[in-house]
């Protein structure tokens, strides 16, 4: 079953490679192969009503406004899981996403199944980020003006393993290239104890996924973000480590 999933994922990625539309910024994933195999495999596809085409599109600035409520809900749902365990708040999420609407140079990549948002990925030039984000870079001799900061990626579980996460990186990197002037692209991830009580037994870190995309972990570049975990009464600091691509 695992091997078949990899084959299906490869098909999706290949189709994406065949149909890059960097300027149109509107990508279709033809999933006909996947669906045919899904039917052959009976219950392999957990999502029975998945359509043939997943659309992926970049948005910037005010055109994002109408998607904010759905996007906020998706983020809250996905980030409840380990390692984030985020006890999300709709109002906070809307405020957070407003940063992207207010910045014309930001990008949010949205993935749709029909009209439903099933995934999203954010990025913004680091110069528009908070001091908290910029500080470790300044302390280690980087110029924040030369860094493009990828925020988060979230994808409905039913649609994972199809290459959509890879396309999120491709789209954000393409946006950074279009803007120009960046020496590095970065993102950060939360550090959790190996024996964290909420760590699922089958949890696989995304390190290999990121390494394969040529990102390198920089343990010296850390920041502290604050949020409330599901089992916490109050917000608490979380250590974040940055990954960089030259
Ligand atoms: C990160 C995320 C968007 C990846 O989406 P995805 O569409 O499933 O990823 P892809 O199908 O493009 O997979 C790309 C590769 O990563 C691997 N991969 C994907 N999800 C994985 C996971 N949870 N654990 C381990 N490997 C994973 C795939 O096997 C694939 O490997 P390959 O490059 O060798 O082919 C998705 O897992 C997600 O929403 N996770 C929860 C939120 C999160 O942790 N976001 C990242 C930090 S903000």
CATH of the domain at 101: 3.40.630.30
Residue 86 DSSP one-character state? B
63 and 12 both lie in a single domain: no
21 and 100 both lie in a single domain: no
70 and 177 both lie in a single domain: yes
120 and 220 both lie in a single domain: yes
135 and 196 both lie in a single domain: yes
CA-closest candidate to residue 206, choices 83, 112, 113: 83
143 and 178 both lie in a single domain: yes
70 and 121 both lie in a single domain: yes
Residue 206 CB less than 6 A away from ligand 1: yes
42 and 74 both lie in a single domain: no
Give residue 53's pLDDT. Answer: 86
The ligand 1 atom nearest the CA atom of 189: 47
Residue 154 CB less than 6 A away from ligand 1: yes
Q: For the chain, what is the domain count? A: 2
Structural contact between residues 29 and 155, judged by C-beta atoms closer than 8 angstroms: no
Which of the listed residues 160, 186, 208 should we mutate to test ligand 1's pocket, taking the one with most ligand atoms within 8 A of CB?
160
**Per-residue pLDDT of the chain in tens (246 residues, 90 and over written 9):** 232 333 333 334 333 433 443 333 455 554 433 433 333 222 223 333 455 689 999 999 888 889 999 999 999 999 999 999 999 989 999 999 998 999 999 999 999 999 999 999 999 999 999 999 999 999 999 999 999 999 999 999 999 999 999 999 999 999 999 999 999 999 999 999 999 999 999 999 999 999 999 999 999 999 999 999 999 999 999 999 999 999
Give the domain range for residue 237.
53-245
Distance 208 CA to ligand 1 centre (A): 9
173 and 64 both lie in a single domain: yes
Which of the listed residues 29, 161, 205 should we mutate to test ligand 1's pocket, taking the one with most ligand atoms within 8 A of CB?
161
85 and 16 both lie in a single domain: no
Residue 239 CB less than 6 A away from ligand 1: no
Distance 56 CA to ligand 1 centre (A): 16
CB atoms within 10 A of CB 149: 26
pTM of this structure: 0.82
Which of the listed residues 192, 206, 214 should we mutate to test ligand 1's pocket, taking the one with most ligand atoms within 8 A of CB?
206
Residue that is last in its domain, among 36, 52, 68? 52
100 and 220 both lie in a single domain: yes
Q: Specify the 3-state DSSP secondary structure of 169.
A: helix
- Residue located nearest, by CA, to atom 3 of ligand 1: 165
Sequence-ordered list of residues with C-beta below 8 angstroms from that of 132, at least 6 positions apart, any chain: 223, 224, 225
230 and 120 both lie in a single domain: yes
């Amino acid at each position: 079953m695992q091997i078949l999933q990899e084959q299906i994922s490869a098909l999706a990625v290949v189709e994406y490679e065949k149909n890059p539309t960097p300027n149109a910024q509107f990508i279709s994933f033809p999933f006909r192969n996947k669906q045919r195999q899904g039917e052959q495999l009976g219950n392999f596809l957990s999502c029975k009503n998945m359509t043939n085409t997943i659309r992926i599109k970049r948005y910037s600035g005010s055109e994002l406004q109408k998607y904010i409520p759905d996007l906020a809900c998706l983020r809250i749902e996905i980030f409840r899981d380990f390692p984030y365990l985020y006890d999300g708040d709709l109002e906070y999420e809307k405020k957070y996403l407003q940063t992207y609407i207010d910045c014309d140079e930001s990008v949010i990549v949205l993935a749709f199944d029909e009209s439903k948002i099933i995934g999203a990925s954010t990025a913004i030039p680091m110069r528009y980020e908070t001091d908290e984000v910029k500080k470790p870079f300044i302390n280690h001799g980087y110029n924040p003006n030369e860094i493009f900061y990828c925020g988060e990626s979230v994808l409905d579980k039913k649609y994972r393993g199809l290459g959509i996460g890879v396309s999120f990186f491709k789209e954000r990197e393409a946006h950074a290239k279009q803007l120009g002037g960046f020496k590095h692209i970065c993102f950060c991830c939360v550090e959790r104890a190996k024996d964290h009580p909420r760590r699922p037994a089958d949890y696989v870190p995304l390190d290999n996924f990121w390494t394969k995309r040529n990102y390198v972990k920089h343990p010296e570049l850390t920041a502290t973000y604050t949020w409330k975990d599901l089992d916490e009464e109050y917000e608490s600091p979380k250590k974040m480590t940055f990954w960089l691509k030259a």
